[in-house]
Amino acid sequence: MQSSLLSVTQNDQRLNYRRRQAVNQVMLGLCGVAALIAILPLAWILLYVVQRGYGSLNLDFFTQLPTPVGVAGGGVFNAIVGSAMVVGLACLMAIPVSLIAAFYVYERPNTLLGTLIRFSTDVLSGVPSIIMGIFAYTVIVLTQGHFSALSGGFALAIIMTPIALRTTEEMLKLVPKTLREGSLALGAADWRTLLQVMLPAAISGVITGIMLGVARVAGEAAPMLFTAFGNPFFSAALDQPIATLPHQVYVYAISPYKDWQDKAWATALVLIALVLSLEVVARGVTSWQQRKLRGR
């Protein structure tokens, strides 16, 4: 009696153990499948954009202005210049502010103001980009009375600021404290220490952060709709509407014309090549940096 009971529970345990192992194997396998699922859309998008866009690419596409519907040829020269201008403007506005504000947050992380700035940064990074567009619209377009490259740059600057600020702060935190203490002990002022000791030590990380920010805002179409507005002609003026690559993709894509839709793919290929190469270089620099640090 006793022994049979024991064997029953043993048998149960063995079954139970086998069931648990099976569940374990299946679920862990599913986690691997999830990783595959992430790769699928990326590969599909990249391959398809290259396949559809490659045929329309030639030198003219980079040097000519857009042509009207039905006219073959033409390019997106104005949108390339426009994107460069708007993103450049965004950098001019966002980089100084976010670097200097990052110094404040780094020096006084736990004061009321430091917490408030960090909180505001988090709030800004969560605000949808289209809202930034409305903000730029009410602040600049409404007061000036017309769409402009400047307002587009302003909208992108606000999107970029939290990214640049956050990374700079994290990078400053990674610099060994001894460097800072050494500089202060030699009698250098705070600003000298930050600018000439801390910043150079953190610079590659800071540049990486800025590049990631640029990659992010260069692909933004939503805030461009009613700030930079788009322009079928060439313009390099600050106070005129200006074409940008992502906005051009949008305009071409939702048009009912077949030849414009083909151009949407070509423009998308230019845009995605630009954004992803920025991203790849930035990530490459980071991992190279980490390997160098680990090697020491």
First CA to last CA distance, the chain: 68
What are the beta bridge partners of residue 242? 229
Of 113 and 236, which CB lies nearer to another protein in the complex structure? 113
Work out which of 126, 145, 176, 295 binds another protein, going by CB under 8 A: 126
Which string of x and - marks every residue 172-191 that binds another protein (by CB under 8 A)?
A: -----------------xxx
What CA–CA distance (Å, rounded) separates 144 from 148? 9
Work out which of 165, 202, 206, 228 binds another protein, going by CB under 8 A: 165
Work out which of 98, 208, 231, 235 binds another protein, going by CB under 8 A: 98
**Least Cβ distance, residue 77 to another protein (angstroms):** 19
What CA–CA distance (Å, rounded) separates 271 from 268? 5
Residues 46-85 that bind another protein (CB under 8 A): 48-49
Contact 108, 201 (CB under 8 A): no
Over its C-alpha atoms, the chain yields an Rg (Å, rounded) of 26
**Least Cβ distance, residue 289 to another protein (angstroms):** 13
Number of residues near another protein (by CB under 8 A): 92
Contact 82, 228 (CB under 8 A): yes
153: number of Cβ within 10 Å = 27
Work out which of 1, 5, 30, 293 binds another protein, going by CB under 8 A: 30
**Least Cβ distance, residue 120 to another protein (angstroms):** 4
Stretch that binds another protein, among 2-10, 59-67, 68-76, 111-119 (CB under 8 A): 111-119
Question: Is position 6 an interface residue for another protein (rule: CB under 8 A)?
Answer: no
What CA–CA distance (Å, rounded) separates 132 from 228? 13
What CA–CA distance (Å, rounded) separates 109 from 100? 14
